[in-house]
Structure 1
């Protein structure tokens, strides 16, 4: 079968023929419907090396941690899954028996350091291929919803949803304001989730005009980048600041921007993993304002994301690529040339 393989550090992936996998006990073989290309993939093959990467990410393996597909073959002991049914794949794979994993919170697995991989597509063969094998536990039913457009939701939907869900107490009640910094794949979905789940006024900011246009279409008030960016955001809130902010970039300037517009008793969640740092001061931080971070989400969260998708509350912006064009999807992702989330459809005719 054809697959996009990460073969060496600091090396662009290759498109090659590999053996079709076979499901083991407790696993399911999926015929891949769609696989999303994510900036995390780029970081793995472009930025990391042996000295800086978790050992579980060492090559080689098939990329792709945003996956959907149809059940093709069941491994030993798997029951309750009908062949041909469509599923979204929960990517993280923990030990399965620690406290965090018992909550479906595999991203915070207590035994992650001893696991041979972190997730499907992150240390273990992912979905940038014609077929993928995943644990049956990690399959979330899609019903009759379109599995191709759903693929990015396993990260670009789940990650903002988990961050927003944790912040809902800050947005409960009238007159609340939410800020979304960075309107890439995750930020665009975040605007939709905030609009659907809260009555808050959603403020969104990005350096790209087309990204802000799409955010406005989903109900956000947008503020363009510039020296008076923070002042404009505060003006929208009547000078009080925002009650919850979500930074989907994670560099020092974006963290500083969000921090500068927080209200008393607010919550800032840094979601983007760009490694930015922030200097905290008692005298410049609003009282009882929380600065935190999150990583991915839980299996339960993904069920709720799928429910929102099926209800039409989340509509991912996607750009479709055939398997033979998968490397072009990654090239465009690196170059910032994508208008939506790149989704590779392995069984689409070239």
Structure 2
């Protein structure tokens, strides 16, 4: 079968032929409907070096945002998993035995350091292929919803949902303000989630004018980049500041922007893995405000994300590419030319 393979560190992936996988005990073989191309993939093959934090040992098939139809099942799989039915895949894979994993929090597995891989498509063969094997209990049914458009929800939907859900206490009540920095795949869906779950005024910012326009169409008020960006954000809050900020970039400059606009008692969630740092000072930090980080989300939260998708509350913007155009999708992603999420559709010519 055709697949996009990460072959070596700091090396662009290859589109090549690999052997089709077979489902083991407790696993399901999916015929891939869609696989999202994520900036995390770019970090895997472009940024990470052998032995560095986050590095996953090559070779393996990329693709950690996956949807598909059940083709075959391995031994021990429940009859509730239906052949031919469409499912979204929860990507993270923990040890399945620690206190975090038994709660569906595979991303925070206590034994992650001893695991041979991090997730489907991150160390273990992923869905940027015609077929992929996944754990049966990591499947979320899609019903009659479009599985191709649903594919990015496995990360670009789940990751902002988890961060926003944790911050909801800061957005309860009237006159609250939320800030979304970075309006790529995660940020655009994050704006939609904030609109659906809160009554807060949503302020959004990005370097690209077209990204800001899209966020405005989803109910946000926006500010452009610039030296007075923090002042513009504070003006939108009438000087009060932001109650909950979500930095979907994670660079030093974006963290500084969010931190500079925080209200007393506010929460800043750094969601993007941009390697930025934050300097704390008692005299400049708004009282009782804090900076935290989140990573992906839980299995049960992915069920909730799918509920929102099926209810029409989340509408991922996707660009579809056939398998033979998969490498072009990554090239465009690296160049910042993708609006929303690039999704590789193996069945598309």
TM-score (norm 1): 0.99
By how many angstroms is 1:290 displaced? 1.5
Name the residue aligned to 1:166. Answer: 166
By how many angstroms is 1:52 displaced? 1.5
1:36 maps onto 2:36 in alignment = yes
* Distance in structure 1 (CA, Å) of the matches to 2:243 and 2:336: 31
Larger mean CA deviation between 326-335 and 45-54 belongs to 45-54
Name the residue aligned to 1:287. Answer: 287
4+ residue segments displaced more than 2 Å:
none
Gaps of 5+ in 1: none
Larger mean CA deviation between 229-238 and 117-126 belongs to 229-238
**SS in structure 2 at match of 1:78:** coil
* Distance in structure 1 (CA, Å) of the matches to 2:325 and 2:234: 44
Written as runs of structure 1 = structure 2, the 5 A alignment for 1:191-340 is 191-340=191-340
Deviations 1:242-264 (A, max 9, x none): 10000001111100000001001
1:75 maps onto 2:81 in alignment = no
Deviations 1:87-143 (A, max 9, x none): 000000000010000110000000101111000000000000000000001101111
Name the residue aligned to 2:100. Answer: 100
Question: For the Cα contact (< 8 Å) 2:188–2:340, is it kept in 1?
Answer: no
* Distance in structure 2 (CA, Å) of the matches to 1:10 and 1:218: 37
Deviations 1:22-49 (A, max 9, x none): 0000000000000000000000000111
* Distance in structure 2 (CA, Å) of the matches to 1:201 and 1:232: 14
1:347 maps onto 2:333 in alignment = no
* Distance in structure 2 (CA, Å) of the matches to 1:256 and 1:9: 31
The alignment's C-alpha RMSD in Å is 0.7
Gaps of 5+ in 2: none
Deviations 1:147-184 (A, max 9, x none): 00000000000000000000000000111000000000
By how many angstroms is 1:279 displaced? 0.6
Task: Tell me the number of residue pairs that the alignment of Structure 1 and Structure 2 aligns.
Answer: 348
By how many angstroms is 1:339 displaced? 1.4
**SS in structure 2 at match of 1:279:** coil
* Distance in structure 1 (CA, Å) of the matches to 2:147 and 2:128: 15
By how many angstroms is 1:54 displaced? 4.3
Larger mean CA deviation between 128-137 and 43-52 belongs to 43-52
Name the residue aligned to 2:59. Answer: 60
TM-score (norm 2): 0.99
By how many angstroms is 1:347 displaced? 1.0
